[in-house]
Structure 1
Amino acid sequence: MTFLKFIFSKTFLIQLVLAVLALVLIAFIILQWLEYSTNQDQRITVPNLARLSLDKVDEQLAELELRREILDSANYNPDYPPYSVIDQVPLPGKQVKENRKIYLTLNPSGYRKVEIPENLIRKTRRQVEPTLKSLGFEIGTITYKPDVAKDAVLEMRHKGEKVEAGDKLMKTSRIDLVLGDGSGMYGMEDEEEKTAEEEILDDLENEEFDF
């Protein structure tokens, strides 16, 4: 009777409830730990996001429970669509954990504009061409005009228009060069034409006075 009284006593019932609660708590902690350990071991294969728009990227990353961050845009690459992914870190095929951030570099909409530097006029072709090429320009046609300095750059032109220092052109633009041929002063042809015209006018005036 003493044992039965103890089983049904208030003290025993309280201890029993506490023991059950402790077991439930321990079981919950164990389950959470197992789930965490399992997730830690799970790896996600990074997809290839090259050439994809941001909308497509977001769809794929959401399905894989990955995140993204956009880095600065790279130099324009005509082989990739504008605003598409041109580079990513980690690379495709790498194994990462859930919620990992993928860093993306996007392709701009076009080539950026580059400023024409100063002090190129009267420099030699050998000096000017490497400078323009290093800025991303292409060298177009080469023409010559009378000038005392052979191969000195007298003018730069783009699509027939004269280009001055400080002007901005799209990268990869073609720049034509007008060089001196070493035969005489630049602009001498114009002066000679004017002199010939003046001589003709003088002759006409003299003929009028003869009448």
Structure 2
Amino acid sequence: MGFFKFIFSKVFLKQLLLALLVLVLLVFGLLYWLRASTNHDQRIAVPDLSKMSLGLVQQELENADLNYVVIDSSNYNPDFPTFSVIEQNPAAGKFVKEGRKIYLVLNPSGYRKIEIPELVGRTQRQVEPTLLALGFKIGKIDYRDHISSDEVLELRHDGQTLNVGDALRKTSVIDLVVGNGKGSYRTSGDAAQDVINDAEDLDDAGL
């Protein structure tokens, strides 16, 4: 009778509930430890994100338990869609841990703009390599009567004259107006002498 009385006593029931609670906590703790230890050395292959939009990137990396960070926009590449992934680090195929951040470089919306430097007055052989090095393309070459052969007199884009500091997108086509060496010019001193000579002629004529 005393044994059964103890079993159904409040003290025993409290101890039994406490023991069950401890047992449940131990089981959950063991399961968590097993899961953590099992995934500890798990490696995930980085997917190829090239040419993907950010929306597709997010879906792809969420499925792989990976994260991403956009670090920069590269120089525009016409072979890639606008705002798509142009570079990634780690590279596709590399194995990383769960939750690893993948760093992305995106393709911008277009070529960046470049300012036109001081080129008028230089020779065509100097101007063309400079424009090509800046990323522009050489268009038509128009020749104009001018005493200096090969001297660049004007830069044009879509029929408009370009000035120093004007900005055009990279790969824009620039036309050149170049002297042909057949022209002539008169200095301001020559013009002044002409005025004096004309005045003397009028005076001699009595006008």
TM-score, normalised via structure 2 length: 0.75
Structure 2 unaligned segments of length 5 or more: list them. Answer: 1-12, 187-207
Alignment-derived partner of residue 83 in structure 2: 83
Q: Tell me the amino acid that sits aligned with residue 91 of structure 2.
A: L
Alignment-derived partner of residue 46 in structure 2: 46
Q: Matches of 2:134 and 2:85 in 1, distance apart?
A: 25
Alignment-derived partner of residue 155 in structure 1: 154
Q: 1:95 to 1:129 in 2, by over 3 A?
A: same
Alignment-derived partner of residue 5 in structure 1: none
Structure 1: 4+ residue segments shifted above 4 A: 13-30
Residues 21-53 of structure 1: CA deviation (Å, up to 9, x unaligned)? 777666655443332221121111111111111
Q: Tell me the amino acid that sits aligned with residue 66 of structure 2.
A: L
Q: Give 1:20 deviation, angstroms.
A: 7.8
Alignment-derived partner of residue 138 in structure 1: 137
Q: Matches of 1:80 and 1:186 in 2, distance apart?
A: 52
Q: Matches of 1:171 and 1:102 in 2, distance apart?
A: 30
Q: Tell me the amino acid that sits aligned with residue 86 of structure 2.
A: I
Count of aligned pairs: 186
Q: 1:25 to 1:172 in 2, by over 3 A?
A: same
Q: Give 1:183 deviation, angstroms.
A: 2.2
Q: Matches of 1:163 and 1:106 in 2, distance apart?
A: 31
- What is the SS of the residue equivalent to 1:72? strand
Quick one: percent identity of the two aligned structures? Answer: 57
Q: Matches of 1:143 and 1:57 in 2, distance apart?
A: 50
Residues 71-100 of structure 1: CA deviation (Å, up to 9, x unaligned)? 211111111111111111111111111111
Alignment-derived partner of residue 73 in structure 2: 73
How large is the Cα RMSD of the aligned pairs?
Answer: 2.8
Q: 1:136 to 1:186 in 2, by over 3 A?
A: farther
Residues 139-193 of structure 1: CA deviation (Å, up to 9, x unaligned)? 1111211222221110001111111111111210010111111223379xxxxxx
Structure 1 unaligned segments of length 5 or more: list them. Answer: 1-12, 188-211
Alignment of 1:97-176 (within 5 A): 97-117=97-117, 119-176=118-175
Alignment-derived partner of residue 200 in structure 2: none
Q: Matches of 2:132 and 2:184 in 1, distance apart?
A: 28
Is contact 1:145–1:186 with CA below 8 Å preserved after alignment?
no
Q: Matches of 1:148 and 1:138 in 2, distance apart?
A: 27
Q: Tell me the amino acid that sits aligned with residue 49 of structure 1.
A: L
Alignment-derived partner of residue 10 in structure 2: none
- What is the SS of the residue equivalent to 1:166? coil
Q: Matches of 2:175 and 2:46 in 1, distance apart?
A: 47
Q: Matches of 1:159 and 1:19 in 2, distance apart?
A: 87
